[in-house]
Amino acid sequence: MLLAALVLYAFLRRLRLTLIAVAALPIAVTIVGLVLGVTDGTINLMTLAGIAASLGLIADDAIVVVEEIEHGRASGQTESDTDAGVRRLLPALVGSSLSTTVILLPFALLPGVTGAFFKPLALTMALALGVSFAVAALLVPVAVGLLGASASERATPAPLARLAQSAPLRSAARAYDTLVVFFVRRGAYAALAVALLVAVAACVVAVVAGR
């Protein structure tokens, strides 16, 4: 948890926002533990591994919401505009949580010893993702509204924000935009690129499996 806090502060460089994002971690983990206890689940190696693997996703949800709200405030938006921005962010949060959960659920349905081994891990991670979404959507906006960055902190751009305005990164962003526009306008080339990536991945898997 301490390492996660240090990493968050290194990126946000604002103490209040870091504390809000870090607070989401123990809150979500506590709720997951309570749900496991209520459902007669056990705290074992696999459930602990599921919780540990979910910490990054929990922190990511909290950071996205915190940054969206603070970006709106720093841009001079009103409270209603900020609320609208958070509402626009919710579908993305729902989609990311559901897509990861859908990927995990088949592991919980595996038969035999393999299924018994992976089921606690998959279900714990799916539970943690659901709790993470609830915390990010309900608790984090309230915490930012009460304990968000001060006016002086908003007036001083974060180091990463200043870095994003540097010439090399602006050039990289323009190149990325050009590449995205190219593939969006030429769907056939995008499909060909995806096919090549899949072929390369299949070759790598075959070589590794052969060893």
Confirm if 122 and 107 have CB atoms less than 8 A apart: yes
> Could you give the CA distance from residue 20 to residue 162 in angstroms, rounded to a whole number?
22
- Give residue 59's pLDDT: 84
In the chain, where does DSSP find H-type helix? 2-12, 15-38, 45-74, 79-108, 112-134, 140-147, 151-155, 159-164, 167-185, 187-210
Between CA 26 and CA 34, with CA 29 as vertex, the angle to 5 degrees is: 120
- Give residue 208's pLDDT: 79
Neighbours of 72 (CB within 10 A): 18
Q: Which residues of the chain have pLDDT under 70?
A: 1, 4, 8, 11-13, 73-85, 148-166, 210-211
- Give residue 122's pLDDT: 86
Give φ, ψ of 156 to 5 degrees: -100, 110
Residue type, 154: R
- Give residue 166's pLDDT: 65
Confirm if 25 and 1 have CB atoms less than 8 A apart: yes
- Give residue 85's pLDDT: 66
- Give residue 165's pLDDT: 62
- Give residue 139's pLDDT: 86
- Give residue 98's pLDDT: 87
Confirm if 26 and 1 have CB atoms less than 8 A apart: yes
Confirm if 18 and 31 have CB atoms less than 8 A apart: no
